[in-house]
Structure 1
Amino acid sequence: MRLLLPILLVASFFSFVTQAAAQAPGTKLRVATRNLEPFSFEKDERRVGYAAELWEQLARETGVEYEVQVVNTAADIIEALKNKTADVGVGAISVTAKREESIDFSQPFYESGLQILTSGGGGSFGDSMLSLIKNLFNLELIGMFLLLMVTMLIISHLVWRYEHKVNGDQWPESYKAGLWESFWWTISTLLVGGADNKGPVGVGGRIIAIVWMLLSIVLVSLLTASFTTTLTVNTLKGDINGPGDLPGKKVATVTGSTTVDWLNRKGAKVEPFATVADCVMALKEGKVDAVVYDAPVVQYEAGKLNDDKLQMVGQMFERQNYAFALQQDSPLREKLNQALLKLSEQGVGNELRKKYFGEDQ
């Protein structure tokens, strides 16, 4: 008990000194960031981007001065905070349970998530026609066509069977010649509602004809719907349409990001690159099957290329939040959170979203 009081006093003094040092006039916070458009990057000798400009306003609001050190990856930012060589991490830094074990975060300022970028669709007229022709030879359409042919042959056989005995001029006695004439009548009835100067005259033939005419209406509707749906879906759809299609595929993402671990768990063949721009270029050149990374960053980089073949597919998944990273038990946390709330109420976040993503969110 006698030892406990001195220990508490020392701890309180250390906390007071730390907080005072962090807020002392003339001292500059060490801000670690990385170049990742559109959140933090260099332009016209000035650091800009959604996170960089939000931090700049936050620093003005709280009255702190800072100096920026640029590192290569998000992992380097986290390591700098853990080693206490940086005070704040600025950028698209995801809040995760693993990171929370060794550092602190401010309240989130942006909700994001992973999304998939693929290369498909668009392109030249020749590419579109080739894709259309390939889609004509899918199992569903072939199955529908074969079923229609079998039905037509059955109807043709029945009409010939009843008609060749009473209408030999139009349905010859010979089975081969008679079936051909009967098939001509059957297909004409299906497509245009009948054949000129040709039709059953016997009772049995006319009953079959009535059945076939009614059935033709249904078959044409079903075939048209199936044909249109299959072509539309298969033309729009590629090999990768969601996270479930990624196992076994070559997928590009940024080295050292949390996405690498996620892709490895899903069984994808991970191809790491230094930047998102490198990932997108690898996809454009056909070196990988897809790019998976934070949705706003991938959309931004893909949009810069203005390539119709590059498509974001599916919805965002593995949703996550971006926040400013801090040292563990940082005395800055409460002060920054209060200022963040104030800026949010002033609409600063919406202004930056409109500036970098083209719309209010």
Structure 2
Amino acid sequence: MHRSMARLRHNRRALPLFIVAFLGVWVGFQIATGAPPSAPLPPEPVTVNEPTDAVDPIRVAVTPIASAVEWTGKRPTGVVIDIWNEIAGRIGVATDFVLEPTFVRLLEVLPAGQADVSLGPLAITAEREQMLDFTHAIFNSGMRIAVRNRDDSGFLTAVKSFLSWRLLELLGCVMALAFFTGHVLWWCERRENPNSFPRHYLRGVGEAMWWIGCTIVTGGCDNKHVGSAMGRTIAFGWMVGGIVLLASFTSVLTATMTAERVVGTIHGPRDLAGRTVGCQQAALSAKTARQRGALVEEFPTVKEALDALALGMVEAVVGENQSLMVLVNQPNRVGMRLVGPIFETFDYGFGVPTGSPLRKRLNRAILQIREDGTLDRIKSEWLGQHD
């Protein structure tokens, strides 16, 4: 009994030591295998992968524009595409072409962040500069007018020909000169020759102008004669001048009627005022035509504007010169032609979002292809040599 009690007291003294030893072993094991569960794990460093040209190609928005961009297969072609490919190769970027349905979309995708570059080419203006940035110019071109050929004949065409400004100016000059010399002739003849030129003002001046008209057409008037020296001087001047006036009137009338049949009544930018003109929607041509007084009808593309011209919905189409040259000379555009000179010239470049770091790289490459002749070579391959 005494031994059992002694053993129990000994076990009670050893129990705390055993517990302490066990806890020490457990803590050591936890330290060796990892941090305690309650301790927060340190945050792992976050690595931001910068986009690379090979992984993230540049999104380039294009829309079919005659002579500049055509999309006939899986990829676009054209002079602007070749220029872009040359620039992209020099700055070391890949390209993801994005086909846009209309020209308007080329201006909308950049502010919306849906593209990195809009090829166009886009006319560089202060108004557009407020929405996006532009590269250096790659083209310089201007506006041109397309009209239908006319082959009208008949009485109405002849009557309309008299409404030309050249004929009206000539008739106005003849009428003013006849009015003035008619008064002088009546004043010289009214006393000595009252039978031919009555003293009454209205009757006398009227008879004098009638005599002048007969002299221009037939060389004289049988039932009237001129007696005074001044009157005969005036009569001689009208007899000689009448031949010249009649010949001038005939030549102007013939030239006007011929021009009306061939190119219509619009011959250049000055004739756009009051005319119904088709233009591409949101293009610079619409603004230019409105500034010249035209009644503008906008269409999604230049091709649709020319279709409207063929149907007589508009009287002319105003657009970029090179595009109109290509479209009007297509086989399905028989009966159209370009008239007048190039007007309102502008520089054309690529568009990029405002503040885009890509702009500086593109400008450097554009300057390089200008200086080494690559830009001129690409343009001449597609568009030929032009002054």
Same fold per superposition (TM over 0.5): yes
Instruction: Specify whether residues 343 and 251 from structure 1 end up closer, same or farther in structure 2 by C-alpha distance, changes over 3 A only.
Output: same
Instruction: Specify whether residues 188 and 208 from structure 1 end up closer, same or farther in structure 2 by C-alpha distance, changes over 3 A only.
Output: farther
The question of 1:316 aligning with 2:343 is answered: yes
Q: Secondary structure at the match of 1:107?
A: coil
Q: Which moved more, 1:299-308 or 1:89-98?
A: 299-308
Task: Give the whole-Å Cα distance in 1 for the aligned partners of 2:114 and 2:172.
Answer: 67
Is the contact made by 1:106 and 1:337 (CA closer than 8 Å) also made in structure 2?
yes
The question of 1:295 aligning with 2:342 is answered: no
Instruction: Specify whether residues 217 and 321 from structure 1 end up closer, same or farther in structure 2 by C-alpha distance, changes over 3 A only.
Output: same
**Pairing partner for 1:47 from 68, 76, 93:** 76
Provide, for residues 78-117 of structure 1, a one-character-per-residue CA deviation record: whole Å limited to 9, x for no partner.
Answer: 3222222211111221212232223221101111233332
Deviation at 1:247, TM superposition (A): 4.5
Deviation at 1:28, TM superposition (A): 1.0
Instruction: Specify whether residues 231 and 145 from structure 1 end up closer, same or farther in structure 2 by C-alpha distance, changes over 3 A only.
Output: farther
Q: Secondary structure at the match of 1:288?
A: coil
Deviation at 1:69, TM superposition (A): 0.5
Task: Give the whole-Å Cα distance in 1 for the aligned partners of 2:358 and 2:101.
Answer: 24
The question of 1:88 aligning with 2:88 is answered: no
The structure that has the greater radius of gyration is 2
Percent sequence identity is 26
Which residue of 1 is the match for residue 211 of structure 2? none
Task: Give the whole-Å Cα distance in 2 for the aligned partners of 1:347 and 1:339.
Answer: 12
**Pairing partner for 1:115 from 140, 144, 166:** 144
**Pairing partner for 2:278 from 236, 252, 255:** 252
Is the contact made by 1:252 and 1:292 (CA closer than 8 Å) also made in structure 2?
yes
Gaps of 5+ in 2: 1-47, 194-214, 221-226
Q: How many residues are aligned here? A: 310
Q: Which moved more, 1:106-115 or 1:237-246?
A: 237-246
Deviation at 1:31, TM superposition (A): 0.7
Task: Give the whole-Å Cα distance in 1 for the aligned partners of 2:153 and 2:300.
Answer: 32
Provide, for residues 6-27 of structure 1, a one-character-per-residue CA deviation record: whole Å limited to 9, x for no partner.
Answer: xxxxxxxxxxx99x646x4443
Amino acid at match of 1:287: M
Q: Which moved more, 1:39-48 or 1:52-61?
A: 39-48
Q: CA RMSD in A?
A: 4.4
Which residue of 2 is the match for residue 7 of structure 1? none
Which residue of 1 is the match for residue 308 of structure 2? 282
Q: Secondary structure at the match of 2:127?
A: helix
Is the contact made by 1:108 and 1:323 (CA closer than 8 Å) also made in structure 2?
yes
Amino acid at match of 2:373: G
**Pairing partner for 2:108 from 79, 85, 101:** 79
Q: Which moved more, 1:107-116 or 1:264-273?
A: 264-273
Which residue of 1 is the match for residue 22 of structure 2? none
The question of 1:223 aligning with 2:246 is answered: yes
Which residue of 2 is the match for residue 38 of structure 1? 67
Task: Give the whole-Å Cα distance in 2 for the aligned partners of 1:353 and 1:258.
Answer: 22
Provide, for residues 102-150 of structure 1, a one-character-per-residue CA deviation record: whole Å limited to 9, x for no partner.
Answer: 322110111123333222xx444x6499745753686567678989999
Which residue of 2 is the match for residue 176 of structure 1? none
Q: Secondary structure at the match of 1:270?
A: strand
Q: Secondary structure at the match of 2:121?
A: coil
Instruction: Specify whether residues 355 and 123 from structure 1 end up closer, same or farther in structure 2 by C-alpha distance, changes over 3 A only.
Output: farther
Instruction: Specify whether residues 228 and 347 from structure 1 end up closer, same or farther in structure 2 by C-alpha distance, changes over 3 A only.
Output: farther
Q: Secondary structure at the match of 2:65?
A: coil
Is the contact made by 2:285 and 2:319 (CA closer than 8 Å) also made in structure 1?
yes
